C-alpha cells in the first residue's frame, strides 16, 4: 500500500511513520508543513528509506495537496496533522481553527476528488482515517464512567472544539459523499520524541535543569495515558482492518492524576539520573503548584473495549513500563531535545524555511 500521512513529522505521526516502515512493506508519503512541532529529526533513519517520501506541504494549500494526491496515488490517508496544545489554543485560537477545521476540510475535498476518480477496485479499497482526541468528549465528573464511541461531544477548549468540528466534517463527508472514513479518538499519548511543551517531557527536562515543575491547580486532574508506540500499532490496525464508517476509541487503561505522574517522573529520575543540578537534594522539591488554566477538564478516561473486541488490539505497555522507557529515552537522547529547546532543529529545513 501507499499510505499518505499528514503530520508525519509530529509526535504521534512520526511514531506511525517509524512503525509502518519498520513492520510492513508499505510506502509512506509524509505530508507535513513543519510548523514548530514538526521535526524530521524524529524520523532519522527513515529519511534514507526508499519507501519514504517527504512533502513539505500545508494541508490548507489545496493546490499543493491536489498535486500530492495525483503524484503519489495513495491507497489510504491517515490524517494526523493538527494544532494540539491546549494552552496555545487559549492564547491564540486562530491557528487551531485554520489547521484543524479549514485544513481538514481541504484534505477531505482533495481526498474525495481523488477517490471519485479511482478505478472501482481501488475506490473500494481506499480509506480515509481521521485521528482525533478524547478531549472532544469534554469532562468526566464521576470516578467510574468512561468515554465510549457514542459519548456526546462537549469540548471545553478552543483546541478540543476545533478537533470536534473536524470529526463532524469527516463523518459528514462519509454520510453525504460516501467517502470511506474511519475515526479514532485517543487518550493522552507519551513516549519518545514528544515535543517538550507537553507535560511529561516538560517535567523531565525541567527536573534535569533544576527548574520548577509546574502543576496546575491541585494536580488532581486525571488523564488516561497511552504509550505512543502502542497507539501507532492501533492506528495501523484500524486503517487496515477497521470497518468503514466506524469510530474506535484508543486508550491505555492507565488513569493517573497529574500530580502522580509528576511524582513518578521525579522518582524515576532519582533512580536513573541521581546526579542532580547544584542545590537540589531531591527532584520532588522542585514541584510547584500554579494557577489552574481556564476550562481545565477534571477527568478523561477511555473505554477501549471496542477496538480490543473487534480488532484484537490491546496496549503492550503499562504506565510504569512506558514511563520508564520514556524517561530513559530522554536521558539517552539529549542531542534531540537540546536541538528542540535551542531551536536548532528548525534551521536548514527542507524548503528553506527556518
What are the residue numbers of the active site? 134-135, 159
Q: Using alpha carbons, select from 190, 192, 195, 256 the residue that is nearest to residue 221.
A: 256
Q: Are 8 and 30 in contact (CB under 8 A)?
A: yes
* Most distant CA pair in the chain, distance: 68
Output the 3-class SS for the chain: CEEEEECCCCHHHHHHHHHHHHHCCCEEEEECCCCCCCCHHHCCHHHHCCCEEEECCCCCCHHHHHHHHHHHCCCEEEECCCCCCHHHHHHCCHHHHHHHHHHHHHHHHHHHHHHHCCCHHHHHHCEEEEEEEHHHHCCCCCCCCCECCCCCCCCCCHHHHHHHHHHHHHHHHHHHHCCCEEEEEECEEECCCCCCCCHHHHHHHHHHCCCCEEEECCCCCEEEEEEHHHHHHHHHHHHHHCCCCCEEEECCCCEEEHHHHHHHHHHHHHHHCCCCCCCCCCHHHHEEEECCCCCCCCECCECCHHHHHHHCCCCCCCHHHHHHHHHHHHHHCHHHHHHHHHCHHHCCCHHHCC
CA 241 – CA 250 distance, rounded (Å): 15
Amino acid at each position: 500500500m501507499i499510505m499518505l500521512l499528514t503530520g508525519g513529522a509530529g509526535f504521534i505521526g512520526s511514531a506511525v511513520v517509524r512503525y509502518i516502515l519498520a513492520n510492513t512493506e508499505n510506502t509512506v508519503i509524509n505530508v507535513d508543513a513543519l510548523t514548530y512541532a514538526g521535526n524530521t529529526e524524529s524520523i532519522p533513519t527513515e529519511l534514507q528509506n526508499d519507501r519514504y517520501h517527504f512533502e513539505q506541504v500545508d494541508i490548507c494549500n489545496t493546490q499543493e495537496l491536489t498535486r500530492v494526491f495525483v503524484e503519489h496515488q495513495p491507497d489510504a490517508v491517515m490524517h494526523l496533522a493538527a494544532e494540539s496544545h491546549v494552552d496555545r489554543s487559549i492564547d491564540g485560537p486562530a491557528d487551531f481553527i485554520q489547521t484543524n477545521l479549514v485544513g481538514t476540510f481541504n484534505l477531505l475535498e482533495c481526498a474525495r476528488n481523488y477517490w471519485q476518480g479511482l478505478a472501482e477496485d481501488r475506490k473500494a479499497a481506499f480509506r480515509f482515517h481521521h485521528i482525533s482526541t478524547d478531549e472532544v468528549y469534554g469532562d468526566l465528573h464521576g470516578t467510574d464512567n468512561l468515554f465510549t464511541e457514542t459519548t456526546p461531544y462537549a469540548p471545553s477548549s478552543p483546541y478540543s472544539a476545533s478537533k470536534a468540528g473536524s470529526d463532524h466534517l469527516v463523518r459528514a463527508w462519509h454520510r453525504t459523499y460516501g467517502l470511506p472514513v474511519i475515526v479514532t479518538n485517543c487518550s493522552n499519548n507519551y513516549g519518545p520524541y514528544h515535543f517538550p511543551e507537553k507535560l511529561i517531557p516538560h517535567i523531565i527536562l525541567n527536573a534535569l535543569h533544576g527548574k520548577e515543575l509546574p502543576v496546575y491547580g491541585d494536580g488532581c486532574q486525571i488523564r488516561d495515558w497511552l504509550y505512543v508506540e502502542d497507539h501507532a500499532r492501533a492506528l495501523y490496525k484500524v486503517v487496515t482492518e477497521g470497518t468503514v464508517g466506524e469510530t474506535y476509541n484508543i486508550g491505555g487503561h492507565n488513569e493517573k492524576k497529574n500530580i502522580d505522574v509528576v511524582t513518578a517522573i521525579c522518582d524515576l529520575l532519582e533512580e536513573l539520573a541521581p546526579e542532580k543540578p547544584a542545590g537540589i537534594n531531591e527532584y520532588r522539591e522542585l514541584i510547584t503548584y500554579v494557577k489552574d488554566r481556564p476550562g481545565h477538564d477534571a477527568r478523561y478516561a477511555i473505554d477501549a473495549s471496542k477496538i480490543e473486541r473487534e480488532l484484537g488490539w490491546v496496549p503492550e505497555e503499562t504506565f510504569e513500563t512506558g514511563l520508564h522507557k520514556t524517561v530513559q529515552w530522554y536521558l539517552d537522547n539529549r542531542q534531540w531535545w537540546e536541538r528542540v529547546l535551542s531551536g536548532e532543529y528548525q534551521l536548514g529545513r527542507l524548503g528553506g524555511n527556518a
